[in-house]
Amino acid sequence: MKPSQIAIIDFGSQYTHLITRRIRQLGVLAKIFPPLVSTQELKGVRGIILSGGPNSVYDQTAVRYNPQLFKLEVPILGLCYGHQLVAQHLGGKVQKGRVKEYGFANLEKIVDGRILAGVPKQSRIWMSHGDSVVQLPPGFINCAKTSDCNVAAMACASKNIYGLQFHPEVAHTKAGQLVLSNFVFKICHCQKDWSLEKYFSQMVKKVKAVVGKRNVFLLVSGGVDSTVCFALLEKILGKNRVFGLHIDSGSMRLNESAQVKTALAQAGFGNLHVYDASAKFLAALKGVVDPEKKREIIGRTFLQIKDEVMKKNGLKPKDWVLGQGTIYPDTIETGGTKHADKIKTHHNRVKEILKLMRLGALVEPLSELYKDEVRQVAKKLGLPASLINRHPFPGPGLFIRVLCSSGQEIKKSKNQKINLQRIVGQKLKSIILPLKSVGVQGDNRTYRQPVLLSGSLDWNKLHDFSIRITNEVHEINRVVYLVAPAKVKLSNLKVKKAYLTKDRLDLLRRVDALVNEEIKKAKIYNDIWQFPVVLAPLGLKGGQTIILRPVESQEAMTVNFYQMNKKVLDKIAKKILQIPGIDLVLYDVTNKPPATIEWE
């Protein structure tokens, strides 16, 4: 291990690898270790970061760790769970917080100190926790607080140990990179020794080592990740050793499969085969409601189709490895580290894929990169901007944007309604929707109901209400706003029995194409990171509901909902309501966390 490395001890945070990424953006190597790592393995490190995690340090869920970490005489920085662990281990006290904090909070700096040097007196930060430090360990001082967290930062200069309840590794923490830079350079005295160029060189060697004399069978969706993976593998191995397969699962956007083949051919990828498997996917997903089951079936069906195509083309399995354009957020949300909670099973992380990984029959050149880094690699490879700058599109496609229901109403507690009324008051009307969606709260997966708000449009107020509702009402993980029609009797809103069908997919395809056309006309396409358009089986007159979910982000681990210009939004909503079968248009006003980007 090089002496400038930072050791990251992983307690299961969804952001653990984001810490690695932020540190390597500073030009410094970092490596992740398990909590029970031996001190011998950490010999030579300049500093240790204790990550966040979904557990509590004070109960039976606490993660076992090596207490000798605190005797290494190197600087230590605890983040979220790591902050609480520092406090408890050294004699402080941690307990369940008065309220939970998910998303933005305002940090008020009390003491400057080394870790917060240069951070403004008031600064916006990103929180994701339910527990709080309520008593400082001996020798520590309180450096910062928020309105709901009295100890948001603490420090012990004599021991060179620091704790932050917030997440500096998240892009939404305004001074986060400055805080990490303070720790890495001013406190740990590291030297720069990492770059994307060095990683690229290592990646080439790794691909050659995994593949050996075999060839690669690559599943190509047409998105930036699989396209870059295709280009990389052809560059490393040669075009004759890479078989690209685009499977039309029936979940693609309007005319997308044809567009993918044309675009890739124009970019020089002639070795792409297209296979129509839409009927097989729909048959496999018939009657399925649960989003986890959907994802598992989708992943398994992709592999079954892959095997069929290999057999049809006379390709012997022993001569091939499977290639995928997996990037790091995919592995994180599937529980990519030992103590991480599984948020959702990505189609490229089903058990059959994990088996191939164990057998050394899987190659994923991009699996340690984030979307913006993948785009940097794409530029390095000379891929056209039309492919590089496309909005991300999930591998399961529209299958996970068509919400399904058995038609049974989900019961709502009186407590939920009382808490909502207390928060929203008379300013907006609110109703809890009889649906559920996937979220991530305190590094845990949640599957909870959304709240619908209606009234005059004020993005700032909606943003603040969204944070308060998801922080204070335990059963809620997402908030949506009624765009159109403006006046409806929400009590008449009913969920109906609906499953994945070609008709529902075609309806969503039509709306999705309309939305993408309009945001391009309005010249806001490049302002938006990703724009899921969701079809929900909610209606007033027997129709369905469209939910718009545009987001802003840098790496997809955290996002803000996009605050669209009202005139543009009204124009889009008006056109959507003209499509037969659509009763309502809603707008998702939830950040990540507590909601994930996709609803499923």
Active site residues: 80, 167, 169
H helix runs in 238-370, sequence order: 256-266, 278-284, 291-312, 328-333, 351-358
CB atoms within 10 A of CB 88: 18
Which residue matches tokens 């529902």? Answer: 504
The answer to whether the Cα torsion of 77, 83, 85, 86 is positive or negative is positive
Give the β-pairing of 544-548 and 533-536. Answer: antiparallel
Residue 251, both tokens? 């979940």
CB atoms within 10 A of CB 465: 23
Q: Cis peptide leading into 593, omega within 30 of 0?
A: yes
Which residue matches tokens 């948020």? Answer: 343
Give the β-pairing of 153-156 and 141-145. Answer: antiparallel
CB atoms within 10 A of CB 212: 8
DSSP letters spanning 423-476? HHTTSSEEEE-S--EEEEETTEEEEEEEEEEESS--HHHHHHHHHHHHHH-TTE
Distances (CA, A) of 447 to 415, 441, 442: 18, 10, 13
Distances (CA, A) of 75 to 186, 210, 395: 11, 37, 41
Rounded to whole angstroms, the Cα distance separating 300 from 322 reads 14
556, 528 contact by CB (below 8 A): no
DSSP letters spanning 489-523? -GGG-EE--B---HHHHHHHHHHHHHHHHHHHHTT
Distances (CA, A) of 149 to 56, 81, 419, 472: 16, 14, 21, 14
Q: Which letter does DSSP use for residue 269 in this model?
A: -
H helix runs in 34-119, sequence order: 81-89
Query: What are the backbone dihedrals phi and psi of residue 442, each rounded to the nearest 5 degrees, phi first?
Result: 60, 35
The distance of Cα 507 from the centroid of its chain, to the nearest Å, equals 27
Describe the crossing of helices 502-521 and 566-577 by its angle, rounded to 10 degrees.
150
